[in-house]
């Protein structure tokens, strides 16, 4: 071999060895670090008033606190079970129009911004009640007439009218209900969304765009310094990449494809991985636009309900599907329980009954209908299954698949007929009914929320029942009113409750969160998380 | 030569202006509401209208166009509709990663493709030619994301030679650049190999090559002084197109390796109807593409003197 050839080979070999020995993970980690995957590409905003995605909420949950909270890992919003957070105790007036909170003294803000005060609480809510802020959570606070600072550690909310469910709507963690430091928000302006300051167990340390947010343990956290030194919340939008990183041990927790096959692949690759499903997860409904024939006929809507076999979803998706017998999941505050639902309102699969109802309403041979639907996996899969089931009773759905953004724009312009929606919502019957079935929430109105069926305008109305329930101070009477509203909704069938899609995540086997996650919106809190040795 | 440069410059500016304008209007013709995409599906109608007004999206389209052009003249590309970050800053943060990947993969592609193409042509019909051609056909059939996942599993997960995901400390952090660049570079190399082989075979049959051989020039000299330089023209065209394609087409690789870059950024912006980010991104990419084409034209003039006087 010629000399220059052997020298070249030697150089190449040396380069390979040196390169190999220089390989590190590339990021210096603190002693105890948790690597948490976020599915977004990047930050939307970490300002609690401006969060838009579940991933933003995951970060916010580690950095901020609310006034009160449900028992950890649950969606239990019974008043008697509320847990103190920034508020150590509270008083609620007999008529439920005045809610007074006494703050814990000495709770520190991160970064030396002093201590949490009543003024901060007032500021946190009032800024969101101004539509100019551009946040989406302000609608939850529409019942607030005024917020009064009684003294530096006492704040009183006065409501326009009695609301026994105000705590679930406006005071528990997430979706704009965190308390922020007035001084920091005013100083940092827009930058607060990229470098938040809170009172929570972890404080903001670093943001690397499209890579990660780094949070470090807050030594002065009022409930005790977290065991973990750092959280690295990493933006990894691709499920495959996240899965490989989890298998390699580079991630401690990740979500993935919501399929039984993905769960099986994780169990095979990482036998001691914890598979966590949070109920109810996303609620998936079919709204019937009652301004469109023949959906304006209750018999047609009931026929569709009888033609859909809900049990197929649990057969196909297993743990990734949950029952939804009524529009309000059974675990929500004020929900109608399955055992309280009369037989004729359970709409158990009965294609013969469906055909009878269609014949009675003048469609003995069925009918055809154009239906727009999002291309997103969960939307399209559900609708394809529904399409097949309805075809068996003569109802032909001509599906027009659209990209997700266009779909949501179009259904808000009232272009939907059978409108599928997959969403999360505050865990209470009043919130669900007001959002999807109140007259004021009908699309097309200035006050529109997500009432795609136009229930309340046409086909029935339960607004009065819900208003009475919200104002009712006797818990039993309140539950009775809410039950009656839900029974009426089942009779009128403006919305077919399809299923819940529990939120799925996996966690390395050596992580102990310090509590049992049973219900929630997919965000784990890591204040008491630790690695346990085998 | 000066006239050549001036003419090409004028063409470049006009092309860029037409592209900016096309993108501006095309975005607004897309279905879907950027404000709903921005606020998520839980926003009330009132909030949606308020935000639309605050962003100026309720103004007549030609007013918005005028503001866009004015911003361009002041080098202000606006702020993202989704997270209100400055578009210029966001692009300048991501662009180096895409440029690094483009440069690295192009170098690998050239180092793999051109020598193999020359070898294949010189050994046409022999075993070496068959092997290289078959490898190239097979390799070209592989989608980039598939090859990327294979490399991730082999070099990242199994052999642990490279870190799995991310962009590293900076855009040129070799530890994080290696696998993505190798993935794209090999695929580029396969394509370049076949083109080089064809170009070399074509030039090899020309009369001036036979003349050079007949005059007693060594095989090495014939290849490098006559064949290679003339074969470079179509290869340069391919290289230019390939580089441009990489600049805007790296999304699959960026997703697989979770690497920052313009591909992911712009696809995400289209999905969320982030008008300002899309506009700003296309402006910057257009300038780069026009610059690459301009440089390619200059390179032609350097390689082939006939182009200068045409």
**What's the pLDDT tens digit per position in A344-375?**
999 999 999 999 999 999 999 999 999 999 99
Cβ(A324)–Cβ(A500) below 8 Å: yes
pLDDT (average), residues A30-57: 88
CA nearest to A139 within chain B: B44
- For the record, the structure tokens of B289 come out as 């593409």
Task: Give kind and range of the element (H or E) at residue A38.
Answer: strand A33-38
Verify whether the Cβ–Cβ distance B50 to A41 is below 8 Å: no
Residue pair A183/A98 in contact (Cβ under 8 Å)? The answer is no
Chain B residues in contact with A402 by the CB 8 A cut-off are: 31
What percent of chain A stands above pLDDT 90? 68
Residue B252: closest C-alpha in chain A: A238
Q: Are B87 and B283 in contact (CB under 8 A)?
A: no
Interatomic CA distance for residues A434 and A442, integer angstroms = 10
How many Å from the N-terminal Cα to the C-terminal Cα in chain A? 56
- CA-based nearest distance B278→chain A, Å: 15
The pLDDT assigned to A508 comes to 96
Give the bridge partners for A419, in sequence order: A287
Exposure letters A157-185 (e unless 16+ CB within 10 A, then b)? bebeebbbbbbbbbbbbbbbbbbbbbbbb
Q: In angstroms, rounded to a whole number, what is the distance separating the alpha carbons of residues A371 and A517?
A: 37
d(CA A469, CA A472): 5
Looking at the complex, report in whole angstroms how far the Cα of residue B209 sits from the nearest Cα belonging to chain A. Answer: 29
CA distance A362 to chain B (A): 36
pLDDT above 70: percentage of residues in chain B: 94
* Shared-domain flag, residues B76 and B109: no
Show the DSSP H helices in A73-146 as ranges: 118-126
The whole-number pLDDT of residue A5 equals: 40
Report pLDDT for A436: 94
One domain, residues B145 and B29: no
Minimal CA–CA distance to A54: which of A425, A320, A331? A425
Please state the domain count of chain B.
Answer: 2
Using one digit for the tens of pLDDT, what is the confidence trace for B136-147? 888 888 888 899
State which of B36, B56, B86 marks the end of a domain. Answer: B86
Number of H helices, E strands in chain A: 15, 19
- Same domain assignment for residues B291 and B193: yes
Residues B150 and B10 occupy one common structural domain: no
C-alpha distances (whole Å) from B210 to each of B214, B219, B224 are 6, 11, 14
Helix (H, G, I), strand (E, B) or coil at A501: strand
pLDDT tier at A29 (50, 70, 90 boundaries)?
low
Interchain proximity B258–A209, CB inside 8 Å: no
pLDDT of amino acid B186: 92
The nearest alpha carbon in chain A to B154 belongs to A244
Residue pair A68/A171 in contact (Cβ under 8 Å)? The answer is yes
Report whether pLDDT(B102) > 70: yes
The pTM of the full predicted model, rounded to 2 decimals, is 0.82
Which residues, listed in sequence order, are joined to residue A497 by a DSSP beta bridge?
A285
B93 and B46 fall within a common domain:
no
Evaluate whether A28 touches A48 at the Cβ level (below 8 Å): no
Cβ distance of B260 and A209 shorter than 8 Å: yes
> What is the SS3 assignment for A367?
strand
On chain A, the residues whose CB falls within 8 A of the CB of B162 are 23
Determine the pLDDT at residue A16. Answer: 43
Question: What 3-state DSSP class applies to A243?
Answer: helix
B94 contacts on A by Cβ (under 8 Å): 209-210
Question: Do residue B48 and residue B180 come from a single domain?
Answer: no
Give me chain B's average pLDDT, please.
Answer: 83
Q: Quick one: A71 exposed, middle or buried, by C-beta within 10 A (0-12, 13-18, 19+)?
A: middle
Interface test with B, best of A236, A241, A249, A451 (most B CBs within 10 A): A241
Looking at the structure, do residues B203 and B242 belong to the same domain, yes or no? yes
Nearest CB to B260; choose among A139, A211, A405: A211
On chain A, the residues whose CB falls within 8 A of the CB of B266 are none
B46 chain-A contacts, CB cut-off 8 A: 131, 446-447
Candidate from A240-254, A444-458, B226-240 with smallest mean pLDDT: B226-240
| Residue in chain A nearest B273 by alpha carbon | A405
A contacts of B153 (beta carbons < 8 Å): 244
Most confident of A298-307, B18-27, B53-62, B255-264: A298-307
Select the highest-mean-pLDDT range: A358-362, B171-175, B262-266.
A358-362
- Residues from chain A that touch B88, judged by Cβ atoms under 8 A, are none
Interchain contact, B256 vs A241, CB within 8 Å: yes
First to last CA, chain B: 10
**Which residue did the predictor score with more confidence, A445 or B37?**
A445
> For residues A334 and A480, what is the distance between their CA atoms, to the nearest angstrom?
9
What is the pLDDT at residue B196?
87
Q: What is the CATH number for B205?
A: 1.10.3720.10
Verify whether the Cβ–Cβ distance B40 to A136 is below 8 Å: yes
Structure tokens at A350: 């009965």
End of a domain among B59, B86, B113?
B86
How far apart are alpha carbons A94 and B297 in whole angstroms? 82
- Is A180 within 8 Å of A487 (Cβ atoms)? no
pLDDT band at A4 (very low <50, low <70, confident <90, very high): very low
Contacts of A142 in chain B (CB under 8 A): none
d(CA A220, CA A226): 10
Nearest CA in chain A to B268: A41
Does pLDDT of B217 surpass 80? no
Q: Is the pLDDT of residue A461 over 70?
A: yes
Which residue out of B57, B147, B164, B173 would a mutagenesis test of the A interface target, given it has the greatest number of A Cβ atoms within 10 Å? B164
Q: How far apart are CA B230 and CA A463, in angstroms?
A: 81
**Averaged confidence pLDDT in chain A:** 89
Task: Check CB contact under 8 Å for B44 and A238.
Answer: no
Cα A421 to the center of its chain, rounded Å: 13
Indicate the range of A298-312, A479-493, B101-115 predicted with least confidence. B101-115
Query: Across residues B263-269, what is the average pLDDT?
Result: 87
pLDDT of A407-436, one tens digit each?
988 999 999 999 999 988 878 899 899 999
Position with higher pLDDT, A127 vs A31: A127
DSSP per position, B50-106: HHHHHTTTTS-HHHHHHHHHHHHHTT---B-TTT--BHHHHHHHHHHHHHHHHHHHH
Residue B301 has pLDDT above 80, yes or no: no
Q: Which of B43, B70, B86 is the last residue of a domain?
A: B86
The pLDDT of residue A11 is above 50: no
pLDDT at A19 > cutoff 60: no
* Residue B26 tokens, joined: 């095309």
List CB contacts (< 8 A) between B54 and chain A: 132, 134
The C-alpha of A227 sits at a distance from chain B's nearest C-alpha, in angstroms, of 26
Q: Which of A41, A53, A409 sits opposite B31 (nearest CB)?
A: A409
**Interface touch A238/B46, C-beta < 8 Å:** no
Could you give the CA distance from residue A274 to residue A71 in angstroms, rounded to a whole number?
A: 22
Helix (H) or strand (E) holding B38: helix B34-39
Query: Average pLDDT for residues A270-285, to the nearest whole number?
Result: 90
φ/ψ of A358, rounded to 5, equals -65, -40
**Smallest CA–CA distance from B146 into chain A, residue:** A240
- Per-residue tokens: B142: 């592989």
Model confidence at A450, in pLDDT bands (50, 70, 90)? Answer: very high
Across the interface, do B93 and A209 touch by the CB < 8 Å criterion?
yes
Nearest Cα neighbor of A305 from A340, A336, A349 is A349
Host domain of residue B207: 88-307
How many other C-beta atoms lie within 10 A of the C-beta of residue B40? 14
Q: Per-residue pLDDT for B68 more than 90?
A: no
What is the complex's ipTM, to 2 decimals? 0.79
Distance, in Å, from the CA atom of A144 to the CA atom of A449, rounded to the nearest integer, reads 19
Which chain B residues are closer than 8 Å to A238 by Cβ? 255-256, 258
List pLDDT tens digits, range A98-108.
999 999 999 99
Both B214 and B236 in a single domain?
A: yes
Higher pLDDT, A527 or A13: A527
* B174 to A19: CB separation less than 8 angstroms, yes or no: yes
**pLDDT band at A113, cuts 50/70/90?**
very high
φ, ψ at A72 (rounded to 5°): -55, 135
Q: B104 and B248: one domain?
A: yes
User: B30 contacts in A (CB within 8 Å)?
Assistant: 406
* A66 to A174, A191, B20: CA distances (angstroms): 8, 21, 46
Strands A530-531, A511-512: pairing kind:
antiparallel
Average pLDDT in the B93-103 region?
92
CA distance A262 to chain B (A): 17
- For residue B299, CA distances in Å to A226, B99, B103, B233, B310 come to 61, 20, 17, 9, 15
Chain B: give the shortest CA distance to residue A132, in Å: 7
DSSP secondary structure letters along A260-326? HHHHHHHHHHSTTPEEEEEEEEEEEEEEE-TTSTTTTSHHHHHHHHHH--THHHHHHHGGG-B--SS
Q: Which pLDDT score is estimated for B306?
A: 67
Q: How far is CA B125 from CA A456, B12, B119, B130, B204, in A?
A: 79, 44, 11, 7, 15
Residue A414: predicted pLDDT: 94
Question: What is the biggest distance separating any 2 CA atoms in chain B, rounded to whole angstroms?
Answer: 85
All residues at 6 or more sequence positions from B134 whose CB lies less than 8 Å from its CB, including other chains: none
Closest chain B residue by Cα to residue A131:
B47
In this structure, are B74 and B108 located in the same domain?
no
Which two three-digit tokens encode residue A200? Answer: 């929570």
Average pLDDT over residues B193-207: 82
Shared domain for B180 and B291, answered yes or no, is yes
Quick one: B116 and B132 in the same domain?
yes
**Chain B residue closest to A424 (CA)?**
B42
The closest of B13, B11, B9, B8 to B73, measured between CA atoms, is B13
Least CA distance to B164: which residue of chain A?
A: A245
The predicted-structure confidence for A167-196, as pLDDT tens digits, reads as follows 888 888 888 899 999 999 999 998 999 999
pLDDT score of A23: 40
Minimal CA separation from B172 to chain A, in Å: 13
């Amino acid at each position: 071999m010629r000399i220059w050839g052997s020298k070249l080979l030697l150089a190449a070999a040396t380069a390979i060895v040196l390169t190999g020995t220089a390989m590190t993970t590339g990021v210096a980690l603190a002693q105890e670090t948790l690597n948490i995957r976020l599915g977004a590409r990047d930050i939307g905003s970490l300002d609690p008033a401006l969060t838009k995605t579940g991933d933003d909420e995951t970060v916010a949950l580690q950095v901020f606190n609310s006034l009160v909270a449900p028992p950890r890992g649950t969606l239990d919003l019974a008043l008697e079970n509320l847990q103190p957070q920034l508020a150590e105790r509270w008083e609620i007036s007999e008529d439920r129009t005045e809610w007074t909170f006494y703050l814990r003294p000495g709770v520190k803000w991160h970064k030396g911004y002093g201590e949490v005060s009543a003024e901060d609480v007032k500021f946190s809510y009032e800024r969101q009640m101004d539509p100019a802020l551009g946040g989406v959570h302000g609608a939850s606070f529409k019942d607030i007439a005024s917020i009064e600072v009684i003294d530096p550690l006492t704040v009183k909310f006065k409501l326009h009218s009695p609301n026994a469910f105000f705590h679930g709507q406006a005071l528990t963690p997430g979706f704009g209900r965190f308390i922020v430091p007035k001084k920091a928000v005013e100083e940092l302006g827009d930058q607060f969304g990229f470098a938040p300051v809170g009172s929570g167990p972890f404080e903001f340390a670093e943001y690397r765009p499209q890579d990660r947010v780094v949070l470090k343990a807050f030594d002065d956290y009022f409930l005790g310094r977290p065991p973990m030194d750092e959280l690295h919340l990493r933006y990894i939008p691709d499920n495959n990449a996240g899965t490989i990183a989890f298998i390699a041990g580079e991630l401690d927790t990740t979500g993935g494809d919501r399929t039984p096959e993905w769960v099986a692949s994780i169990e095979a690759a990482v036998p001691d991985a914890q598979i966590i499903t949070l109920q109810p997860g996303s609620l998936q409904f079919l709204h019937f636009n009652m301004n469109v024939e023949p959906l304006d006929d209750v018999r047609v809507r009931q026929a569709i309900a009888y033609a859909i076999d809900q049990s197929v979803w649990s057969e196909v998706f297993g743990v990734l599907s949950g029952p939804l017998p009524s529009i309000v999941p059974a675990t929500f505050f004020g929900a109608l329980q399955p055992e309280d639902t009369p037989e004729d309102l359970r709409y158990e699969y009965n294609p013969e009954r469906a055909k009878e109802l269609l014949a009675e309403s003048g469609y003995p041979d069925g009918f055809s209908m154009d239906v727009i639907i999002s291309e997103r996996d969960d939307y399209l899969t559900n609708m394809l299954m529904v399409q097949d089931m309805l075809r068996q009773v003569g109802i032909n759905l001509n599906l027009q698949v659209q990209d997700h953004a266009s779909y949501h724009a179009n259904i808000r312009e009232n272009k939907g007929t059978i409108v599928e929606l997959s969403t999360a919502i505050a865990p209470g019957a009043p919130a669900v009914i007001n959002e999807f079935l109140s007259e004021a929430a009908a699309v097309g109105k200035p006050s529109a929320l997500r009432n795609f069926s136009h229930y309340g305008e046409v086909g029935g109305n339960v607004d009065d029942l819900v208003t009475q329930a919200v104002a009712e101070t006797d818990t039993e009477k309140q539950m009775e009113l809410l039950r009656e509203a839900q029974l009426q909704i089942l009779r009128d069938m403006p919305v077919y409750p399809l299923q819940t899609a529990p939120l799925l995540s996996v966690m390395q086997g050596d992580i102990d969160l310090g509590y049992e996650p049973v219900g929630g919106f997919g965000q784990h809190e890591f204040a008491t998380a630790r690695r346990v040795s085998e | 030569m000066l006239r050549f440069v001036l003419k090409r410059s004028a063409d470049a500016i006009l092309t860029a202006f037409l592209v900016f304008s096309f993108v501006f209007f095309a975005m607004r013709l897309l279905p879907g509401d950027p404000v709903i995409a921005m606020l998520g599906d839980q926003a009330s109608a009132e909030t949606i209208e308020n935000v639309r007004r605050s962003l100026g999206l309720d103004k007549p389209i030609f007013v918005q166009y005028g503001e866009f052009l004015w911003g361009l003249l002041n080098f202000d590309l606006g702020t993202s509709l989704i997270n209100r970050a400055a578009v210029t800053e966001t692009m300048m943060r991501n662009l180096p990663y895409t440029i690094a990947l483009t440069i690295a993969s192009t170098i690998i592609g050239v180092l793999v493709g051109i020598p193999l193409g020359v070898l294949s042509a010189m050994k046409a019909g022999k075993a070496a030619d068959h092997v290289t051609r078959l490898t190239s056909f097979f390799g070209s059939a592989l989608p980039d994301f598939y090859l990327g996942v294979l490399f991730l599993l082999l070099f990242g997960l199994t052999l642990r030679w490279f870190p799995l995901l991310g962009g590293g400390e900076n855009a040129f952090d070799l530890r994080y650049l290696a696998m993505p660049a190798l993935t794209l570079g090999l695929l580029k190399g396969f394509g370049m190999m076949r083109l080089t082989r064809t170009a070399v075979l074509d030039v090899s049959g020309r009369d001036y090559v036979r003349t050079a051989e007949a005059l007693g020039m060594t095989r090495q000299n014939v290849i490098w002084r006559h064949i290679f330089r003339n074969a470079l023209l179509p290869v340069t065209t391919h290289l230019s197109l390939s580089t441009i394609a990489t600049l805007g087409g790296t999304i699959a690789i960026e997703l697989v390796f979770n690497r920052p870059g313009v591909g992911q950024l712009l696809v995400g912006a289209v999905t969320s109807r982030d008008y300002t980010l899309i506009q700003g991104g296309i402006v910057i990419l257009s300038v780069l593409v026009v610059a690459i084409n301009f440089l390619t034209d200059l390179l032609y003039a350097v390689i082939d003197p006939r182009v200068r006087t045409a």
